[in-house]
Amino acid sequence: MAMVVKNNLSAVRTLNQLNQNNSELNKRLAKVSSGMKINSAGDDASGYSISERMRVQIRSLDQDLQNVQNGSAMLKTASGGVEDIINILRTMKEKAIDAANDSNTDEDRQTIQKELTQLRHTINDVALGNEYNGKRLLDGRYDQKIKYVDAATTAVQVATSLMTSLNKTTLSGTAALDEAISSASNGKFSTTSALVESFLSDLDGATSAIDFLQEYCDIILGNDDTGAITGSDAGGDTTKTAESIVPEQIAVSSWGVPTAGSTTTIDGLTIHWPSTDESSGVDTDKKNHILAGLNSDWTEQCLKLVKESYGIDFNDPDATVRDINVKFYNSDNLSNDDYPSSALAFVRHWSSGGNATQLELVVNMKYYNDIDTTSEDGATSNPSAGYLDRTLAHEFTHAVMAANIYSFSNLPKYFKEGTAELVHGIDDIRTTRIQQLLTTRKDTLKQILNGTIDGDAGDPYAAGYMLLRYLAKQGQSATGTRNIESMRDVPLVVQHGTQAGQHSNFYIKDMQTKSLTAGEIFNSYDELLNENDKARYQALDYDPDKQAEWLKTLHAAANMTIDDISVTTKEDANIAIRVLDGALEYSLDNATTIGAYLQRLEYTQTNIVTMNENVTSSESTIRDADMAKEMTAYTKANVLMQAAQSMLAQANQSPSNVLSLLQ
């Protein structure tokens, strides 16, 4: 080979090879030192991308595992609280069974009642104190709630909004009513005067009274519907006829006449039965029929109707009185300011500081001494009396409102009577008066609604009824509140997947005493839903009296919660036992559900661990180095590196040899 000085091609080629060997050596060194055959995208672009995605999945699975473990701990906390409440309910049932035994005196039962009261408080302490990381688990916030969708509200919702405002306000009289009307109409009518002005303006602009009622009030005169706020005329699902306003589920004759001077508690209201009459002229048999009705369906269904219409009852925490005295009189023998001759029945109330402290229901036997004892609705031959149960619905509305509304007496008469009429409807029995007020007696209508006069006879009843139906109709389009469509999720969420939406929803029922009830007992009329109740009823076929007593117990328990139970009498203790049975069933269902959730999370945890192992193994196959192979490659690269260095040194000697010839 020729010897040259200007270009040492051998050295250049050798240096290039040395650089390649050095680069390869560094790569092999990185793999051997890290234990991975892919250290950057330059090593294997596709392999690096796949490996990185797997690494993200592995870290996500690690967090999923932690989430599931935390979720299990949270549910175990809830489960422990439910189990504690179940134990308390077992103790309460033992006490109720004890109280039902006649070996106890009334004083003993009072002592047991005190124990039950403390146990009830303990249940709420557990329900509200059961927390995980600051989250209350048993107060109902993670139960399934109602899902709402934007839609026009119903007439009942407007009426309920009206009553809720009156229930909560500290104002009185016109100021309270102005606030309530504004709230119910979502500000469309800022005051009572604005509502009345709009009502009268639309009336003046209508082509006829009939058209005004139907277009602006949803009142259809002449059909079967009475015009009750819960009836079909107001947009409800059910036509409320005169006979169906108070739907008796059990025959009045099936219920016993309460003992004179005793008490009965129905849906939060304690009724004090009369020991004597206020006057002579009261037919005992007819009075006893009314007492039997009040002791059962009439009171319960009337209170239920008020609750459906306005959302308030005697169980409301704002109720200032929960007792009512029942009295009978005959206005033919006794008539004064306290006992008017024209009243079929009425509720009186006494107040202190604007809060009702005492209630009294008075029935005028002038109209009911000929009551048909075979009629479940309280029919009479007197055309002025109508059905007694319907009259009672009106009066119980007054009672509930007086108990829940501050300074109830200061509200206008047309409003107090109108709200009571709204519950059962009057467009079937006051058709003529309604038409007269809208046409020939329009000035009287204006004076009543403007507060100039109270009005005589049925005038304020009809005027208030029409104005409130007008508010309910107009308030529907103004509020745009939401109707129930289906259930919405308010769950505890445990994220256990690597993608959005891969989670489980867990629901925990409210374990406060207000939610611990007897559960569903009746479907309709006397159809029992619970198999144990059916079996008990059928077992008493041999004794109709005991069957009736059992039905009475079930009927009383159907609307009660743990907050309502009492064991101060043997009868009340039996009702309490049935309520506690329902509460235990409810609680056990909750405990079983939580247990199933925990079992589900155990399987989820196992699945996550398995997935983590599999993905880790797959990622290792792609990215981890075969150490034996990599060490061999490293050694080879190291040898080649050293050889290249030696060759470069020799190649650099060639110019020196040429220069030596020039000496």
pLDDT tens-digit profile of 352-364? 999 999 999 999 9
Question: Could you give the 3-state DSSP secondary structure of residue 283?
Answer: coil
Type of residue found at 616:
T
pTM value is 0.55
The proportion of the chain whose per-residue pLDDT surpasses 70, expressed as a percent, equals 91
Q: Which amino acid type is present at position 174?
A: T
Nearest to 185 by CA among 402, 410, 470: 470
pLDDT of residue 487: 41
Average pLDDT for the chain: 87
Predicted confidence at residue 654, as pLDDT, reads: 66
Q: Which residue has the higher pLDDT, 297 or 467?
A: 467
Helix (H) or strand (E) holding 355: strand 355-364
Q: What share of the chain is helix, strand, coil (3-state, %, to 5)?
A: 55, 10, 35
Q: Is residue 147 predicted with pLDDT exceeding 80? A: no
pLDDT at residue number 483: 43
Contacts of 433-440 with C-beta under 8 Å, sequence gap 24+, read: 433/458, 433/459, 433/462, 434/209, 434/213, 434/219, 434/221, 434/462, 434/465, 434/466, 435/209, 435/221, 437/462, 437/463, 437/466, 438/203, 438/209, 438/212, 438/213, 438/466, 439/209
User: Is the pLDDT reported for residue 663 higher than 70?
Assistant: no
- Residue 490 pLDDT grade (very low, low, confident, very high; cuts 50, 70, 90): low
Burial 276-290 (b: 16+ CB within 10 A, else e): ebbbeebbeebbebb
270 DSSP β-pair partners = 265, 323
Percent of the chain with pLDDT over 90: 53
> Using alpha carbons only, what angle is made at residue 658 by residues 653 and 662, rounded to the nearest 5 degrees?
140
In this prediction, residues 246-264 reach a mean pLDDT of 83
Q: Residue for token digits 């047991």? A: 112
Separation CA 654–CA 650 (nearest Å): 7
Mean pLDDT of 269-290: 86
pLDDT band at 3 (very low <50, low <70, confident <90, very high): low
**By C-alpha distance, which of 421, 458, 419 is closest to 436?**
458
Adjacent-strand bridge partners of 349: 359
pLDDT at 368 over 70: yes
- Contact (Cβ atoms closer than 8 angstroms) between residue 563 and residue 123: no
Residue 461 φ/ψ, nearest 5 degrees: -65, -50
pLDDT at 145 over 60: no
- On whether the CB atoms of residues 326 and 274 are closer than 8 A, the answer is yes
Work out the average pLDDT over 187-194: 93
Question: What is residue 485's predicted lDDT score, i.e. its pLDDT?
Answer: 40
Amino acid at 508: I
Q: How would you label 192-203 residue by residue, b for 16+ Cβ within 10 Å and e otherwise?
A: beebbebbbeeb
Amino acid at the residue 354: G
Cα distance between the two ends of the chain: 22
Count of helix runs (H) and strand runs (E) in the chain: 19, 11
Average pLDDT over residues 62-87: 95
pLDDT of residue 316: 85
Q: Are 250 and 551 in contact (CB under 8 A)?
A: yes
C-alpha separations of 156 from 69, 164, 235, 631 in Å: 46, 12, 9, 83
Find, among 251, 228, 250, the residue nearest to 240 by Cα: 228
Residues 493, 494, 496: CA angle, nearest 5 degrees: 140
Tell me the two tokens of residue 554: 């079930």
What is the C-alpha to C-alpha distance for residues 333 and 74, in angstroms, rounded to an integer?
A: 70
Strand partners, 528: 522
Segment 514-534 mean pLDDT: 81
- Phi, psi (rounded to 5 degrees) for 340: -65, 150
CA 241, 246, 250 angle in degrees (round to 5)?
120
- Which is more confident, 236 or 130? 130
Report the distance separating Cα 561 and Cα 488, nearest Å: 25
3-state secondary structure of 558: coil
Q: What is the pLDDT of residues 609-642, one digit of tens each?
A: 999 999 888 887 887 666 777 678 778 877 777 7
Q: Evaluate whether 38 touches 625 at the Cβ level (below 8 Å).
A: no
DSSP structure string for 181-243: HHHHTTTSS-SHHHHHHHHHHHHHHSS-HHHHHHHHH---TTSS----TTBGGGT-SB---TT
Q: Closest by alpha carbon to 468, among 169, 166, 218, 212?
A: 218
Using CA atoms, how far residue 206 sits from 436, 440, 477, in Å, is 15, 15, 19
Cα atoms in the 13 Å half-sphere on the side-chain side of 181: 25
Beta bridge partner(s), residue 363: 328, 345
* Sequence letter at residue 285: D
pLDDT digits (tens, 9 = 90+) for 404-433: 999 999 999 999 999 999 999 999 999 999
Q: Which of 32, 138, 12 is nearest to 80 (CA)?
A: 138
Q: Which two tokens stand for residue 445?
A: 């209508």
